[in-house]
Amino acid sequence: MENRTPLIAGNWKMYKTPTEAGEAARKLAGLVAGVTGVEAMVAPAFVAIPAVARALSGTEIALGAQNLHWEDQGAFTGECSAAMLKDAGCDYVIIGHSERRHLFGETDEAVNKKVRAALAHGLKPVLCVGETEGERDAGHTMDVLDVQVARGLDGLSITAESGLVVAYEPVWAIGTGRTATPDQAQEAHAHIREKLGQVLGKPLANSTRILYGGSVKPGNIAELMTEPDLDGALVGGASLDPASFADLVRFRAA
Ligand code: 13P
């Protein structure tokens, strides 16, 4: 069994102004100070990144962004590059979230370019994959995950230092209150790890953290995290309130 430090990541989506985000980050830092054996990360909206970076400075909590553009700079109105995010203090960047894929038409090809850009600038990519309800009902879950992992990482040179994280987020479980059962999540995670083994080689696959996302809450995280291939969580709704997110970070104590 590999020693994969669990990562509990909060995706704040399009919630919180810079003032609110800075305040929440400060509260969270106070609540989780001294927690060991778990890494915490928050990903605010682009505009709130500087405020959150200030609030988290000197703490153990990592900072992430929710998206990026793959070019370093250029005439791409409304976009942010990996270099900009790195300079603003980000450690991680979420890539290919299902809301980006389904609401904004992000393709596996775009996801691949974004992962490449993140790696080139020393940002740790959190590559999101997951099937829709229709795909699950049709029995296509594992095929969808295979394609998203293979295309997302195609042609990239990834090492242990890249800090790659994969997040399994079944679309039907996001923001719905319908969590995957621990068995369903473990089956998908084991499959993703197998696929990562083919793409990256077994040692790297075994040291890569695979997070579960989709209606994770303080009441269900401990049970999910008992599964051997679940190495943390990517949390939306329950990460917005610092007290609730702190409970998630302290899941081992719950
Ligand atoms: P919820 O935790 O609100 O279901 O959102 C999950 C998610 O999309 C995290 O990226």
Ligand 1 atom with the smallest distance to the CA of 128 is 10
pLDDT at 2 over 80: no
Phi, psi of 127 (to 5 degrees): -80, 120
- In the residue annotation, 97 being an active-site residue is answered as yes
User: Does ligand 1 lie within 6 Å of residue 237's CB atom?
Assistant: yes
Token duo for residue 26: 């400060």
Please name which of 144, 75, 81 lies closest in space to residue 108, comparing C-alpha atoms. 144
Q: Is the pLDDT of residue 1 over 70?
A: no
Mean pLDDT of 121-149: 98
Instruction: State how beta strands 39-43 and 62-65 pair.
Output: parallel
217 Cα nearest atom in ligand 1? 2
Which of 106, 169, 189, 227 is the catalytic position?
169
Task: Give DSSP secondary structure letters for 185-231.
Answer: HHHHHHHHHHHHHHHH-HHHHHHSEEEEESS--TTTHHHHTTSTT--
How high is the pLDDT of residue 3?
Answer: 81
Domains and CATH numbers, the chain: 7-11+40-237 (3.20.20.70)
List pLDDT tens digits, range 56-99: 999 999 999 999 999 999 999 999 999 999 999 999 999 999 99
Which of 8-12, 23-27, 177-181, 190-194 shows the lowest mean pLDDT across its residues? 177-181
Instruction: Kindly tell me if the per-residue pLDDT of 254 is higher than 80.
Output: no
Q: Is 234 in the pocket of ligand 1 (CB under 6 A)?
A: yes
DSSP string, 39-106: EEEEE--GGGHHHHHHHHTTSS-EEEES--BSSSSSS-TT--BHHHHHHTT-SEEEES-HHHHHHS--
Burial of 160 (0-12, 13-18, 19+ CB in 10 A): exposed
SS3 content of the chain, % helix, strand, coil (to 5): 45, 15, 40
- pLDDT average, residue stretch 166-186: 95
Question: How far is the centre of ligand 1, averaged over its atoms, from the C-alpha of 107 (Å)?
Answer: 20
Q: Which helix (H) or strand (E) holds 126?
A: strand 124-129
Closest C-alpha to 29, from 63, 54, 61, 64: 61
Pairing state of beta strands 124-129 and 165-168? parallel
- Yes or no: say if 28 and 62 are a contact pair by the CB < 8 Å rule: no
Q: List the residue whose alpha carbon is closest to atom 2 of ligand 1.
A: 236
CB of 95 sitting under 6 A from ligand 1: no
Question: Rounded CA gap, 233 and 245, in Å?
Answer: 11
pLDDT digits (tens, 9 = 90+) for 21-61: 999 999 999 999 999 999 999 999 999 999 999 999 999 99
Task: Place 200 in a pLDDT band, splitting at 50, 70 and 90.
Answer: very high
The number of C-alpha atoms within 13 Å of 235 and in the hemisphere containing its C-beta is: 27
